[in-house]
Amino acid sequence: MKSRRELANKPKLLVVDDEPDNLDLLYRTFYRQFKVLRAESGYAALEVLTKHPDVAVIISDQRMPGMSGTEFLRQTADQYPNIMRIILTGYTDVEDLVGAINQGKVFKYVTKPWEATDLKIVVTQALDAHQLLRSRTEELERVLQQETLLNAMTNTIRGAATAQSMMQTVVETVGQHMGADICVLQPLGEALDAVTSTIYTAVALPLSAAGLLQQPHALAWEVKEMTALSLDDEDTLTVESQNLAALDVQATLLVPLISKQQPLAVLALHRCGTTDTWSDGARQLLATVADQTALALSQAITYEQIQALARREQLLNAVTQAIRSSLEPQAIFAAITHELGQVLSVDSCVLSLWTAVDDYMQCVGLYEAPAQEGFESHIAEDEAGLPRSQTPIRSNPVLQELLTSKQPIQIDDLSQRPEMTVQDQPLQAGGARSLLVVPLISEGEIIGSISLRHIRHPHPWRPGEIDLAQSVAIQAAIAVQQSRLYQKTRQQTEQLMVLDRQKTEFFQNISHEFRTPLTLTLGPLEAAVNQSRGLDFEESTIALRNARRLLRLVNQLLDLQRLDAGRMQPTFRPVNIEAFIKDVVTAFQPYCERQGLRLETRLTASPTVFLDLEKFDKVLYNLLSNAVKFTPEGRADSM
């Protein structure tokens, strides 16, 4: 007994005759070589063909009731052009034979009665013609499919703006042209870190398995060469078998995309509910498409990398220019956050200054994308209009981890790491969904950080984005140091200006104060010279006292060094104020007499007071000197 597999591999022969004996005879003649199908009329034969369109040869009688063999073969010629048609006829008229052959597009005719050997030869020739025609047709269809797919791929590659959009269009185009129910293009390695997986589906998936579409790696995995799998393959890995079974995948084809001997991606085609696999021609076509796609993806990635480098250089140049062109820290920090936030297309970019010993962060630069629907700002602000941190640094888990690692902290989805969520977020009320924090480091210590956030959706931070943020953080740290140096220099300049003003005032005062003791000293000396006599004891005491005062004034000139160093401080000591004033007044008496003035004192007993004697002496001498200078002659003043 022939096995089912052998029977399935036999070509199919359809015999049509209204006489059962003829059908039995034809069956006995061909059942060993063909899978013989029988029909007693043209109508019945058409129904058989709808169920078995892959019939190779038809043998039909010409004269049948209802529908003639000529009419039946004419209809099959229109609907099934690849089937070889043989007509059995008893016609002897040439014109009738020609009409039957032309209308039915008959391969050959056999006259009744026929010889079995001759009929076998004719049927074998018809089978060979059918197989050749089918082979040529399949080849033409393969070439047409290849040209169609390659043209579509060429247009896809030319029209794609980015590697991501190219991958999406490729997976849709391949899935549609290759008859896949599910098609996945999964990136591999570092070359495609900037893009994500793309998926095409042509069938409705069960709700229980819909989550697998969010995990493309479960439907496509790395292979070194084109690999065909079926669900019952023993070589299929257990986890992958479970994933495919959940989607009712029966046939899978994995095609690697390789460029410069490095895997770029893997293209996975799945068919659900059927074990039909892809033909050799389809596999050859997919291999060509894979090579073309790998080359195009490699070029697109290279172009995007060049663009990213150009944007990086442009950003760094803009930041550097902002640092060089402005001495105002606020303008520099605003430029840094604005440029970085726009280049990385984030919802928020915050530059904060803080150290390990600080209590709170100080926000010095903020960029926020245009407000999105449903988000409003309710954050406390400082005088500069920037958010004010309300969470202590010691209570911020992100900053604590940053202090420990001193490396960028990336969180693609904060909902997956609730322990890192901080309520104190200086942006819209919705908080952050994705977070990247890069430290500002100077002399090995953290002096601040740059925080980048996405609000609505998770965002996988790519290495290029992290590298760019780190480069900007280095420039920002330099800007912070320069800002602090500028502030320190400006303070020192202001201090020098104050010191210079103090010096000027000091010289003006000291030159004025030299006159009074000189005048008081010269008075007794001039009187003694004019009268040709010596100084008495009282005059000598006055001259000595004023000479000592001059010495003290000279010593004060040495205080300039202390003034420069900022160490000029008052010196207090106990003083008998009554005795001190009497000595000063006694020194002024001769001067007042020469001016026609009388100087009187009315002092009451006073306790000992603490004075900076030099400063108070200067005040009292200036007071009396100005009083003598601007008091009219003959007027008496008292003190």
Name which of 36-40, 278-282, 532-536, 564-568 the model is least confident about: 564-568
The DSSP line for 422-465 is: -S--SS-TT--SEEEEEEEEETTEEEEEEEEEESSS-----HHH
pLDDT at site 374 = 44
pLDDT for residue 378: 42
Q: Does domain 160-204+212-306 have CATH number 3.30.450.40?
A: yes
What is the residue-averaged pLDDT of the chain? Answer: 78
Kindly report, as residue ranges, where domains of CATH 3.40.50.2300 are found in the chain. Answer: 4-142
Average pLDDT over residues 587-605: 78
Separation between Cα atoms, residue 301 and residue 620, nearest integer Å: 87
326-490 to CATH, choices 3.10.150.10, 3.30.450.40, 3.30.70.120, 3.30.70.2190: 3.30.450.40
Q: What is the DSSP letter of 399?
A: H
Q: What is the pLDDT of residue 570?
A: 72
pLDDT value of position 14: 92
Q: Among 54-68, 107-121, 289-303, 517-531, which is the least confidently predicted range?
A: 517-531
pLDDT given at position 373: 41
pLDDT one-digit tens code per residue, 415-445? 888 888 776 544 333 468 889 999 999 888 9
**Sign of the torsion formed by the C-alpha atoms of 456, 458, 462 and 467:** positive
Question: Exposed/middle/buried for 527, CB within 10 Å: 0-12, 13-18, 19+?
Answer: middle
Alpha-carbon distances, residue 385 vs 335, 364, 365, 378 (angstroms): 16, 10, 10, 12
- What is the structure's pLDDT at 414? 85
Confirm if 57 and 127 have CB atoms less than 8 A apart: yes
CA–CA dist 519, 320 (Å, integer): 65
* Residue in the structure block whose two tokens are 């690999």: 227
Sign of CA dihedral 504, 506, 512, 514: negative
* Residue 380 confidence (pLDDT) above 60: no
- 266, containing H or E segment: strand 262-272
DSSP states along 159-180:
H-SSHHHHHHHHHHHHHHHTT-
pLDDT at 394: 87
What residues does CATH 3.30.450.40 cover in the chain? 160-204+212-306, 326-490
Query: Token digits for 17?
Result: 């005759």
Residue 376 is predicted with a pLDDT of 45
Q: In this prediction, what percent of the chain has a pLDDT beyond 70?
A: 80
Q: Are 393 and 354 in contact (CB under 8 A)?
A: yes
Of 85-89, 92-96, 533-537, give the lowest mean pLDDT range.
Answer: 92-96
Q: How confident is the model over 357-373, as a mean pLDDT?
A: 81
**Per-residue pLDDT at 522 exceeds 70:** yes
Predicted pLDDT at 589: 77
CATH code of 493-638, in short, is 3.30.565
Tell which CATH classification among 2.40.37.10, 3.30.360.10, 3.40.50.2300, 3.40.50.800 matches the domain 4-142. Answer: 3.40.50.2300
What are the CA-CA distances from residue 273 to residues 176, 216, 221, 227, 248 (Å)? Answer: 17, 20, 21, 19, 6
DSSP 360-391: S-EEEEEEEPSPPTT------B-TTS-BB--S
pTM, rounded to two decimals: 0.48
607: which 2 tokens? 């306790």
Q: What is the CA radius of gyration of the chain?
A: 53
Spatial distance between the Cα atoms of 349 and 345, rounded to a whole number of angstroms = 10
Closest by CA position to 36, among listed 58, 60, 3, 51: 58
CA distances from 311 to 197, 316, 339 (A): 25, 8, 10
Predicted confidence (pLDDT) at residue 232 exceeds the cutoff of 70: no
Within 10 angstroms of residue 365's Cβ, the number of other Cβ atoms is 26
Q: How far apart are CA 481 and CA 614, in angstroms?
A: 44
Q: CA-to-CA distance for 255 and 220, rounded, in angstroms? A: 10
Pair of tokens at residue 199: 């998926």
Alpha helix ranges (H) inside 531-598: 537-557, 559-564, 577-594
CATH 3.30.565 domain position(s) in the chain? 493-638
